[in-house]
Each structure stands twice: as structure tokens, then as C-alpha cells.
Amino acid sequence: MKNKIIYGLVLAIALLLAYIGLRSAFNQFANSALDPLRQTNDQLSTQVARVFNPTPTILPDPVTIIQQVRPLARLETIQYSVQKVITAETGQEVLKELFGDRLLFVAHGMVIAGVDLSELTQEDIDIRDGILSITLPPGEIFVATLDNEKSYIYDRDTGLLRKSDPNLETLARQAAEREIRQAALDDGILDQANANAQVFLLRLLSNLGFKDVIFQ
């Protein structure tokens, strides 16, 4: 009787071990069989993601056309860094929640001014009794542009029944450049550009031996 019980226990253990072994072998076989399918699915998912979220490709035309070459003698004497907030909107008159389009653009720009020494003529330079008299050209703005890396759209609100206007950001950028330029002008950038030019040229001419210099 005891031998039968022991035999039954041994048989049960053997069957259990055999079941465990067969299950493990089956799992390994299933994983090995499904791995190619899983890899294929992963590759397909990656390809689908690339289709719906493509990476932009920039292809410059290899041909470059130089339209004009012109010598410059510009003396840059001052630079302004300006920040301006621009609101651009359309369709705000009636039912703007449905048909309006509005964006808030934070513009960072740079304005560079100075004097163009190429405009100097012989009549603008006079030497009498060892005194050098110079009539400088008026100050002017050479560069007034946006910093595209720092400028950004802070907020945009488009109506439920309207597509966003693709030209609205362009109009905001153009307005920002005008406002940045005007802000520098209002702050007196041209007068400061001329004053800085006089300081620079005075030092230069003094080093060249002109002790008495007058700017008209």
C-alpha cells in the first residue's frame, strides 16, 4: 500500500515536471516563432509614424545667382536689441469665437546704425591753420531685422469654423520689423550713431597726427 502511494506521488511529480518542461519549451518556441512577426510590426509602426510625422528635408538649389556686388564704407557705431509684442488678428468684428483668428507674437529684433563714409566728398573735408574740419553724413539705419531664433508665437486662437490664416504670422513679422525700427528711431538711435562716429573718428585721426578736429 505504501509502495503504491509513493509510486503515485513520484508519478504525479514526474507528470508535473514534464508539464512544466513542456510549457517552458512551448513558450520558447512561441517566442522564437513570434519574434519575426513582432519585429515586422515594429518596423511597420515606425514606417507609419514616419509617414504621418515626416522629418522636413531642406534641399538648397546648387545654383547661386549673385545679382550685385557693391563696395561699402559703412561705419557701424551702435546696435539696439529690441523686444516687441505684436497682436495680429482678423475676423474679430462679429462672432470671433467662430470666425476669428488671432495670434500673439513676441518679436526679438536687432537694429544697427552708423554713418556711410562713402558719402563723404572733398567739400566735406577742410584743413585750415592745422585744424581739420569734417562734415559727416547723417546717421542712418543699416540693419533692422528679427532674430528668428528668439522670436516666437506666444498664443494663437482660431475660431471653430475657421482655418488659421497662413499669412497672419507673416503680417505679424512684418509689423514687428517696422515697430522695432520705429522704436529705435524714437529712442534717438541716429543721433547716437552720429555721436559715436565722431568719437571713433576723433581717436583715429588723433593717432594719425591731427590734433585739432572739428565735426560740423
**d(Cα 133, Cα 151) in Å, to the nearest integer?**
44
148: its cell numbers: 528668428
pLDDT for position 3: 39
pLDDT for position 36: 62
pLDDT for position 196: 92
Question: In 3D, which of 92, 56, 54, 81 has the Cα closest to residue 168?
Answer: 92
pLDDT profile of the chain (216 residues), mean per 10: 42 46 53 59 56 63 75 85 88 68 90 91 85 90 93 83 77 91 94 92 86 85
**d(Cα 137, Cα 122) in Å, to the nearest integer?**
13
pLDDT for position 161: 67
Q: Is the pTM of this model over 0.85?
A: no
Phi, psi torsion values for 168, nearest 5 degrees? -65, -40
Domain boundaries, the chain: 1-59, 74-215
Please, what's the largest Cα pairwise distance for the chain? 140
**d(Cα 9, Cα 152) in Å, to the nearest integer?**
77
**d(Cα 173, Cα 155) in Å, to the nearest integer?**
14
pLDDT for position 112: 95
pLDDT for position 25: 52
Q: Exposed, middle or buried, 164 (CB in 10 Å: 0-12/13-18/19+)?
A: middle
pLDDT for position 206: 85
pLDDT for position 210: 83
Contacts of residue 82, Cβ cutoff 8 Å, sequence gap at least 6: 108, 109, 110, 111, 180, 183, 184
pLDDT for position 55: 64
pLDDT for position 27: 56
Using the 8-state DSSP alphabet, how is residue 72 labeled? Answer: -
Contact at 8 Å (CB) between 108 and 150? yes
